[in-house]
């Protein structure tokens, strides 16, 4: 896989965690999801090769804590959260600020 980092036109490597987990599952005989330790080891391998080859590596993360940890590890660009999660969080904040009970006070479709 290290060869990919140096291909002409490859400016960076971006890891989609769900894509990586699916690929790791596909490569096992049982089709089982990787353990958290196996998954983390693979992420660290990807990061290590990026550092070795001078290729920036990025990752999709969901929380502030994950973002801070990955920056400290040396990941160079991060996609933080998702549109759906951000919309749900903001909607929940608005409902709470208005003092509404989402289960009782809002119309259901």
pLDDT tens digits, 49-93: 999 999 999 999 998 999 999 999 999 999 998 888 888 888 889
Whole-number pLDDT of residue 26: 74
Considering the domain boundaries, does residue 8 fall inside one? yes
Rounded Cα–Cα distance for residues 49 and 25 (Å): 22
Whole-number pLDDT of residue 27: 74
Mean pLDDT of 12-35: 88
Sole residue written with tokens 């959260």: 81
Rounded Cα–Cα distance for residues 1 and 11 (Å): 15
Whole-number pLDDT of residue 108: 58
CA 93 to chain centre: 24
**Per-residue CA distances from 107 to 72, 73, 98, 101, 102 (Å):** 44, 45, 15, 11, 9
User: What's the number of domains the chain is made of?
Assistant: 1
Contact 66, 73 (CB under 8 A): no
What residues form DSSP beta bridges with 79? 60
Considering the domain boundaries, does residue 105 fall inside one? no
- DSSP assigned state of 78: E
Contact 18, 61 (CB under 8 A): no
Please, what is the average pLDDT of the chain?
A: 89
| 76: containing domain | 2-82
């Amino acid at each position: 896989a290290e060869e990919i980092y140096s291909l002409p036109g490859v400016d960076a490597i971006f890891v989609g965690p769900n894509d990586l987990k699916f690929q790791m599952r596909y490569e096992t005989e049982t089709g089982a999801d990787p353990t958290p330790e196996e998954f983390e080891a693979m992420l660290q391998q990807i990061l290590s090769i990026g550092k070795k080859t001078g290729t920036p590596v990025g990752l999709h993360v969901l929380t502030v804590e994950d973002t801070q940890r990955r920056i400290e590890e040396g990941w160079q660009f991060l996609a933080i959260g998702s549109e759906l999660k951000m919309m749900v969080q903001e909607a929940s904040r608005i409902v709470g600020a208005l003092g509404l009970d989402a289960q009782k006070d809002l119309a259901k479709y």
